[in-house]
Structure 1
Amino acid sequence: MLFYIFAVLAILSAGYMVLTRNLLYAGFSLLITLLSVAGIYVLLFADFVAVVQLMVYVGGVLVLILFGIMLSSRVRDKSVLSESGNKVWGTLVGGLILMGLCYTILHANISALPWLQTTELNVLGLQKSTVQSIGIKLMTDVVVPFELASLLLLIALMGAAYIATDKPKA
């Protein structure tokens, strides 16, 4: 039941996000969509992915988007509105993608997946947290690429801070 609540909430807020012209409302609708997807991840016992969803997308990307919208929302006393008015093509492409996804889901042989064939009836009792195993893997086997990625992100952050600073006019 909770899955259906989160799914409907995600679909409705995503639809509102696409159809609204007010960018601030679209940003808040994106917040509801991302939180609903994180709830679906929790229901699927993908706890690490749910935490990453909350930390990276809701905590980082969405806050950045909302600050950008709020800081630039008043230009000459006019609200920033979306200028996209071609909803016919968007609806047509979205409908075609939805039909393709429905066709794929209906014709997929999901019962033949190997991990579904080996499961027992008591699935909930066997579930364990994936955070510990991912943490051990990150700090042992792939520690060098993990640290290189963190250095690359640090350099990108320093570059963004340098670009954002005001340059003294000579």
Structure 2
Amino acid sequence: MTEAVPSYLSPTGQEIVFLLLGAVAIGSALLVVTTRQLVHAALWLVVCFGALAGGYLVLTAEFVAWVQVLIYVGAVVVLMLFGIMLTRAPIGRSADLDSGNRLVAALVAVVTAAILVTVVIDGFRTAYTLLQPGHGAAKELGASVFATWVLPFEALSVLLLAALIGAIVLSRTDIPGGPSPDQRAGGPQPNQSGVSSPPDQTGGR
């Protein structure tokens, strides 16, 4: 049900909170891609996802908001932090995080944002719907996902399963043909006959 568009000079409390959360999300997203510290980027990503979850709460989509917190903040970001710790990545400032394409990336981002904003404003210029609690509950979303969007849902499940299998394969160290633990530690190297020779004790003479 649509009604007349209210004046932009008299926003409601929900609209003000939504705009503030949107500003926080945009600001933290910019900090994610501009910081040179990997841990700081992950923490700013937590702030961005939290602001998005707050926006979902304002739009009365409580289930989507909690899924945003549990899956993205509670799983994806924690996985990134564990990956940083396990790979012993540098946590300080790193010049390798700057690819030198900031101008091109900023131009692409501005053009993409302008296109998206233009499409949204043009499509919903005269539409205004009052927020009614209950439309973001699990019952309505579950009926929509498993009835209308069941095929994309299953395709996404297969994609995530393939990504999980690939991550397990890449993290294994006992792949045939790879270096042995002794070789990685600098131990005795096997000669052509397959017998490991002791390290050189002559000092290189």
Same fold (TM over 0.5): yes
Residue pair 2:37, 2:92 contacting (<8 A) in 1 also: no
Residue pair 2:38, 2:92 contacting (<8 A) in 1 also: no
Residue pair 1:9, 1:33 contacting (<8 A) in 2 also: yes
User: How many angstroms apart in 1 are the aligned matches of 2:162 and 2:103?
Assistant: 42
Is 1:132 aligned to residue 132 of structure 2?
A: no
Residue pair 2:42, 2:81 contacting (<8 A) in 1 also: yes
1:9-58 CA-to-partner distances (Å, cap 9, x unmatched) read 11110011111121111111111001100110011011121111111111
Which is further off, 63-72 or 46-55? 63-72
- 1:8 maps to which residue? 23
User: How many angstroms apart in 2 are the aligned matches of 1:127 and 1:85?
Assistant: 46
Q: 1:46 to 1:73 in 2, by over 3 A?
A: same
1:101-140 CA-to-partner distances (Å, cap 9, x unmatched) read 23223433442x5xx5xx6xxx55x522511344577799
Any residues of structure 2 matched to 1:98-137 within 5 Å, and which? Answer: 98-111=113-126, 116=128, 123=130, 126-128=132-134, 130-135=137-142
Q: SS at the partner of 1:103?
A: helix
Q: 1:93 to 1:142 in 2, by over 3 A?
A: closer
1:146, distance to aligned residue in structure 2 (A): 8.1
Structure 2 gaps of 5+ residues are 1-15, 182-205
Q: 1:157 to 1:97 in 2, by over 3 A?
A: closer
Q: 1:51 to 1:93 in 2, by over 3 A?
A: same
User: How many angstroms apart in 1 are the aligned matches of 2:17 and 2:84?
Assistant: 32
Q: 1:46 to 1:79 in 2, by over 3 A?
A: same
Residue pair 1:73, 1:79 contacting (<8 A) in 2 also: no
Residue pair 1:6, 1:39 contacting (<8 A) in 2 also: yes
Is 1:48 aligned to residue 63 of structure 2?
A: yes
Structure 1 gaps of 5+ residues are none
Q: SS at the partner of 1:62?
A: helix
Residue pair 1:24, 1:70 contacting (<8 A) in 2 also: no
Q: 1:159 to 1:9 in 2, by over 3 A?
A: closer
User: How many angstroms apart in 1 are the aligned matches of 2:36 and 2:124?
Assistant: 41
Count of equivalent residues = 160
More helix by share: 1
Q: SS at the partner of 1:56?
A: helix
Identity between Structure 1 and Structure 2 (%): 34
